[in-house]
Structure 1
Amino acid sequence: MICLDFACHCVKVSGCGVPSYQPDTNRVVNGEEARPYSWPWQISLESFFPTCGGTLIAPNWVLTAAHCITFHTYRVVLAEHDMNKEEGPEHGYICVSILLCRNDIALLKLETSAVINDKVLPACLPQHSETLAHNEPCYVTGWGRLYSGGPKATTLQQALLPVVDHSICSRSDWWGSSAKTTMICAGGESKSACHGDSGGPLNCKGRDGKWYVQGVTSFVDGRGCNTPQRPTMFTRVASFIPWITEVRDDPNVQLLNQNLNLKTYNNHKTNILISINMIELL
Structure 2
Amino acid sequence: MELILVLLLVVPTVSGCGVPSAKPDISRVVNGEEARPYSWPWQISLESFFPTCGGTLIAPNWVLTAAHCITFHTYRVVLAEHDMDKEEGPEQFIMVSKMFIHPKWNGNCASCGNDIALLKLEKSAVINDKVQPACLPQHGATLTHNQPCYVTGWGRLLSGGPRAITLQQAILPVVDHSTCSQSDWWGSSAKTTMVCAGGESKSACHGDSGGPLNCQGRDGKWYVEGVTSFVDGRGCNTPKKPTMFTRVASFIPWISETMAQN
| Superposed displacement of residue 71, structure 1 | 3.2
Of 184, 191, 202, 1:180 maps to 191
Of 122, 125, 129, 2:136 maps to 125
| Separation in 1, partners of 2:130, 2:101 | 28
What amino acid is the match of 2:133? P
Q: Which has the larger radius of gyration?
A: 1
The aligned residue for residue 151 of structure 1 is: 162
CA contact (8 A) 1:216 1:234 kept: yes
The aligned residue for residue 192 of structure 1 is: 203
User: How large is the RMSD of aligned CA atoms in angstroms?
Assistant: 1.1
What amino acid is the match of 2:260? D
**Percent of residue pairs bearing the same amino acid type:** 81
Q: Which runs of no fewer than 5 residues in structure 1 stay unpaired? A: 1-6, 254-282
Q: Deviations over 1:177-231 (max 9, x none)?
A: 0000000000001000000000000000000000000000000000000000000
Of 149, 174, 188, 1:138 maps to 149
The aligned residue for residue 58 of structure 1 is: 59
CA contact (8 A) 2:9 2:256 kept: no
The 3-state SS of whatever aligns with 1:238 is: helix
| Superposed displacement of residue 10, structure 1 | 2.0
The aligned residue for residue 86 of structure 1 is: 87
| Separation in 2, partners of 1:242, 1:208 | 23
What amino acid is the match of 2:15? S
The aligned residue for residue 226 of structure 2 is: 215
Q: Deviations over 1:107-162 (max 9, x none)?
A: 00000000000000000000000000000000000000000000000000000000
Q: Deviations over 1:22-50 (max 9, x none)?
A: 00001100000000000000000000000
The 3-state SS of whatever aligns with 1:174 is: coil
The 3-state SS of whatever aligns with 2:251 is: helix
The 3-state SS of whatever aligns with 2:96 is: strand
| Superposed displacement of residue 12, structure 1 | 1.3
What amino acid is the match of 1:111? E
The aligned residue for residue 108 of structure 2 is: none
Q: Structure 1 length normalisation: TM-score?
A: 0.86
| Superposed displacement of residue 83, structure 1 | 0.2
| Separation in 2, partners of 1:27, 1:150 | 23
| Structure 1 consecutive aligned stretches of length 4 or more whose deviation exceeds 3 Å | none
The 3-state SS of whatever aligns with 1:30 is: coil
Q: Deviations over 1:249-270 (max 9, x none)?
A: 11xx3xxxxxxxxxxxxxxxxx
Alignment of 1:229-244 (within 5 A): 229-244=240-255
Q: Which runs of no fewer than 5 residues in structure 2 stay unpaired? A: 1-7, 105-113
| Superposed displacement of residue 11, structure 1 | 1.9
Distance change (3 Å), C-alpha of 1:8 and 1:197: farther
Alignment of 1:238-257 (within 5 A): 238-250=249-261, 253=262
| Separation in 2, partners of 1:131, 1:151 | 34
Q: Structure 2 length normalisation: TM-score?
A: 0.92
| Separation in 1, partners of 2:9, 2:26 | 33
The 3-state SS of whatever aligns with 2:252 is: helix
| Superposed displacement of residue 8, structure 1 | 10
| Separation in 1, partners of 2:165, 2:11 | 33
CA contact (8 A) 1:43 1:76 kept: yes
The 3-state SS of whatever aligns with 2:170 is: strand
Alignment of 1:106-121 (within 5 A): 106-121=117-132
| Separation in 1, partners of 2:202, 2:85 | 25
The aligned residue for residue 101 of structure 2 is: 100
| Separation in 1, partners of 2:10, 2:158 | 36
The aligned residue for residue 256 of structure 1 is: none
